[in-house]
Amino acid sequence: MKFKTKTSPFFNSSQNINSVMLQVLIALIPGTLTLMYFFGAGIFLNVIISIVFAVSLEIFALIIRKRPLLPFLSDLSAIVTAWLFALTLPPLVPWWIIFVGVFFAIIVAKHLYGGLGYNPFNPAMVGFAVLIVSFPFEMSQWIHPRTFEGLGAYDFGLVEQLGFIFGDQKPAWDAITMATPLDEVKTGLRAGTDYGKVLEGSTYLQTFSQNTWIWSSLAFILGGIWLLYKKVIQWQIPAALLGTLGFISAVFYIFSGDSFASPLFHITSGATILGAFFIATDPVSASTTPIGKLIYGASIGFFIYIIRVWGNYPDAIAFAVLIMNMAVPMIDYYTQPRVFGHKPSFFSSGATQRKQDKKS
Amino acid sequence: MNASLSTNPSTTALRLSQNIKLYKFHGGVHPPFHKKDSNQKPIEFAGIPERLIVPIHQHIGKTAELVVSVGDKVKKGQLIAEKSDFISAAIHAPTSGKISFIGEHSIPHPSGLTEICAVIDTDGKDDWGDYKLTPIEDPANADYSELLDRIEQAGIVGLGGAVFPTAVKLAGASQQNKNKIKTLIINGAECEPYITCDDRLMQDRSADIVKGIQVIQTLIKPENCQIAIEDNKPEAIAAMRAATADFSDIEVIAIPTIYPSGGEKQLIEILTGKEVRSGGLPIELGLMCSNVGTTYSIYKAIYLGEPLLSRIITVTGNGIQHPQNFEVLIGTPFSHLAQQAGGYTKMAENLIMGGPMMGFAIPDDDVPVIKATNCALFISATSLRESNPAFSNQPTLPCIRCGKCMEVCPVKLLPQQLYWHIRAKDFEKAEDHSLRDCIDCGCCSYVCPSHIPLVDYFRFGKSEIREQKVALEKADLSRQRHEFLLYRKERDKRERDEKRAAHKAALQEKKAAAKPNGANGEQSSSPKADAIKAAMERAKAKKQARTESEQSDAKTKETSSKTNTKANTEEAQ
Ligand code: SF4
Ligand code: SF4
């Protein structure tokens, strides 16, 4: 009798890429819901619109590149990218801005580099970076959160919001938007105001229950813990990122509490938590060795602080991540774990062996 | 204690009941083990098939040399092919019959390779004639070399899969060598899914295994002996504990069930916490491992005088009616085994020799089992991916660098990086990532969510690097040859010129000597004669140099190239 032949191992565990990606989507839910609570349906619309654009562009790119549609769509990676990207957008941005961002994320950052698995840069962050550089005004219009007295997201109906996004209608930005705490603190400190005074002057930084950013941070931490528990991500990157950011900001805060923001502020504002657990941990573009992940995470934390405090942009997750994406191949090469039966060596004992072989 | 364990086998209790510190190796996986499928029935003899196909190369080392020819009648245990080198092993007739064919026959190999085999038409009498060796009565007091010779004679090789000649290994580890073995480790881990031949052997023939262990102990005199068995085999553990109860120096250790705990280096790490050096041998740590099956064959060779004619093989999988363990004559075709196990089911789509993690698929069941065969797994394609049949046909997706492979690699490699570099054909980088240390265990492929056949890439990378090295050496050799050729041409030409010059000079001298006024001939010729003499001497020296350099060239190319350059420089002077 004749038999089919294959190569070992003949077994495969039940894991698939989409089961991994699905966990990421699940983990994003609490954070997204919290943001929706504060900012209304606009957040949800952003997510949906981004996903629709991303999936359409993904299909387009796959057809052009003559790749099979089903396996590559069912891996869910485009949806993860779109969702993460959407969470960095302020509510009520016009649709074409979203489209430009998604286009850069999916087409330029992902497919032009060879598609899933081959992108050296984090696609969602490429999309965000393009927008913040090209449309700084639109990208900084965060509307008033729920707890703010006066016009807020909740004062618009769904149709009205859709009108803002897709129609010519423009909201009276000045009336309904405000500076984010990061903006506020940055401008305040730059102007020479004490950190304490800035906080006092800020309408919604004083009270804990009103602090949108603290609550959403907590929700994203919950998602992050889920990912850790499900072993989708490892502890190294978030720990190193938050640790470094916390440490540097603590040093400056202790050194001069008036002119530098507190570590708690840095960790809970902007996209820090989202970045630490969901963005910097994107496996494709992050470092892959255990020690490499520590270095990678720590460096991102370092750059976040530098750019936030001395740079021109209020938040810095995107740029810090993109900068470190470039360093990944080098980090990975020099942080190989010690291989079984090898002596500890500063880097790659395999390379030493190879060179010895050549000599003899 | 043993009795209570055998009645109530709880795996954790098994480990807790022993107070020995065990260690963990990095990574490892827990595939579905399917041991119960085949370990319920005792070992049975698989019978004598009509035809035995006995390959004469079943071991690591040099092919054995045939000593029979077509038409010869052979008795059971008669030598068919003898050990041909230091590392080689004898092959015997597994039963009596007539040699009907000697030549190429397909052997168990993924690409259906053929190899020289001796085909025996069996006569069913299973007649030993007088080929049975005399049992060694009292091995404990037997002569060291008598025991070792017997093991060599019996053609015993490592039955755990390595098929390295056991006598050579024992000789290397024995007392007469400078390496002192502290602990003898008997490997009964059997971590591959589906395989239960060692499990069943330990249950059914524990006393014999212990006798085999004692023979090894006599040979290498270790301080103690540890029998390591995965805790998913409580019956085997109980049986071995009962059989070793009277021996204080033999200890049965239940180790946690995790693949690949049966890998030699991994088992050593579990038991001692030590790592065998990359490229090194356990002997360096004062350890020696022996497989349960090998140990049993040693018992048979010493106590019964039987060479290695059969081995225990697990016949299992959903492609077979009644999975079971058999004692099988070497050379039995797989098809015969399938018959013995009740025949095929509809699901017999793949035939795998070995387990599903490291075994290999065989295209045809007309091939014989060999000394290395521990399992014949007949299995359907879907059940290989049974944990998730919906995705059994999912194509390979790109690597998303999730690092799952790295987490399970027992050697602590970075499979994702290796894969990347090998895909890019950057073998140098792959070597920098210690590709050579990969043990092909398949854990990385097993967990990969993109279903990338990582191990295939690594095998490819390794063979490519090997080929490159061979090619490089060849290129080196031919370059040296070419250089030598050029040198020789030049040298020959120069020698010819010199000879001619010498000849001319000699002629002139003769002429001068033939002149009548020879009185002053000596004086007048003296400067010329000196020149001739010098030239002749030089030619002689060169001739000598030439023969020398040629001789050394035959020995080693490197020294030859040195002499070449030396000769060259001498000549230049
Ligand atoms: S497990 Fe597969 S997808 Fe994940 S890093 Fe390894 S090779 Fe890549
Ligand atoms: S096959 Fe090689 S790389 Fe893969 S897990 Fe085993 S040792 Fe590691």
- Who among B354, B445, B449 is closest to A17 (CB)? B449
The whole-number pLDDT of residue A27 equals 95
Q: Are A159 and A42 in contact (CB under 8 A)?
A: no
| A163 vs B267, more confident | B267
CA distances A154 to A151, A172, A225, B478, Å, are 8, 15, 30, 83
Instruction: Give the pairing type, strands B224-230 and B79-82.
Output: unpaired
> Once rounded to an integer, what is the mean pLDDT over residues A302-330?
90
Whether A340 sits inside 8 A of B335 (CB atoms) is no
The whole-number pLDDT of residue A312 equals 80
Bridge partners of B347, per DSSP, are: none
Q: In B433-453, which residue ranges form alpha helices assigned H by DSSP?
A: 443-447
CA of B402 to the centre of ligand 1 (A): 5
Calpha distance B134→B174 (Å, rounded) = 24
Q: Are B319 and B34 in contact (CB under 8 A)?
A: no
* Residue B108: cis peptide before it, omega within 30 degrees of 0: no
Q: Please report which confidence band the pLDDT of residue A171 belongs to, taking 50, 70 and 90 as the band edges.
A: low
Half-sphere exposure at residue A328, Cβ-oriented, CA atoms within 13 angstroms: 28
Structure tokens of B440?
A: 């092909």
CA of B400 to the centre of ligand 1 (A): 6
Residues of chain B with pLDDT under 50: 1-9, 386-392, 518-525, 552-573
Question: If you take atom 6 of ligand 2, which residue's CA is the nearest one?
Answer: B441
Decide: helix, strand or coil at residue A145.
coil
Q: Residue ranges per domain, chain A?
A: 17-178, 179-338
Question: If you take atom 3 of ligand 1, which residue's CA is the nearest one?
Answer: B399
Structure tokens of B171?
A: 């000789």
Looking at the CA of B443, name the nearest ligand.
Answer: 2
The whole-number pLDDT of residue A203 equals 58
The whole-number pLDDT of residue A285 equals 93
Which amino acid, A359? K
- DSSP structural state of residue A301: H
Whether A117 sits inside 8 A of B399 (CB atoms) is yes
Question: If you take atom 4 of ligand 2, which residue's CA is the nearest one?
Answer: B444
The whole-number pLDDT of residue B555 equals 47
Strands (E), B335-417: 350-353, 360-361, 375-379
Atom in ligand 2 nearest the alpha carbon of residue B418 = 3
Question: If you take atom 5 of ligand 1, which residue's CA is the nearest one?
Answer: B401
Half-sphere exposure at residue B198, Cβ-oriented, CA atoms within 13 angstroms: 31
Whether A342 sits inside 8 A of B437 (CB atoms) is yes
Q: What mean pLDDT value characterizes chain A?
A: 85
Instruction: Give the pairing type, strands B324-329 and B44-45.
Output: parallel
The whole-number pLDDT of residue A197 equals 77
Residues in B closer than 8 angstroms to A234, CB to CB, are: 403
Backbone torsions φ then ψ of B35, nearest 5 degrees: -80, -35
Backbone torsions φ then ψ of A327, nearest 5 degrees: -85, -5
Domains recognised in chain B with CATH numbers: 133-305 (3.40.50.11540)
Number of neighbours of residue A244 by Cβ within 10 angstroms: 20
The whole-number pLDDT of residue A245 equals 95
Decide: helix, strand or coil at residue B401.
coil
Burial A39-66 (b: 16+ CB within 10 A, else e): bbbbbbbbbebbbebbbebbeebbeeee
Decide whether any atom of ligand 2 lies within 6 Å of the B442 Cβ. Answer: yes
> Once rounded to an integer, what is the mean pLDDT over residues A280-308?
94
Calpha distance A282→A278 (Å, rounded) = 7
Bridge partners of B254, per DSSP, are: B229
Calpha distance B179→B281 (Å, rounded) = 11
Q: Which of A85-94, A117-126, B380-389, B461-470 has the highest mean pLDDT?
A: A117-126
Decide: helix, strand or coil at residue A325.
helix
The whole-number pLDDT of residue B526 equals 57
The Cα of A195 is separated from the nearest Cα of chain B by a number of Å equal to 41
pLDDT of A8 higher than 90:
no
Asked if A1 reaches chain B (Cβ–Cβ under 8 Å), the answer is: yes
CA B428 to chain centre: 26
Q: DSSP string of A85-117?
A: HHHTSPTT--HHHHHHHHHIIIIIIIITTTSTT
Question: If you take atom 2 of ligand 1, which residue's CA is the nearest one?
Answer: B448
The whole-number pLDDT of residue B184 equals 93
Q: DSSP string of A29-57?
A: HHHHHHHHHHHTHHHHHHHHHHHHHHHHH
Decide whether any atom of ligand 2 lies within 6 Å of the B415 Cβ. Answer: yes
Structure tokens of A196?
A: 């304490």
Task: State the complex-level ipTM.
Answer: 0.86
- Who among A3, A16, A333 is closest to B449 (CB)? A16
Atom in ligand 2 nearest the alpha carbon of residue B408 = 5
- Who among A7, A75, A350 is closest to B432 (CB)? A350
The whole-number pLDDT of residue B521 equals 44
The whole-number pLDDT of residue A172 equals 65
CA distances A223 to A26, A216, A273, A274, Å, are 8, 11, 10, 9
Which amino acid, B296? Y
Calpha distance B156→B175 (Å, rounded) = 20
How confident is the model over A42-70, as pLDDT tens digits? 889 999 999 999 999 999 999 999 888 88
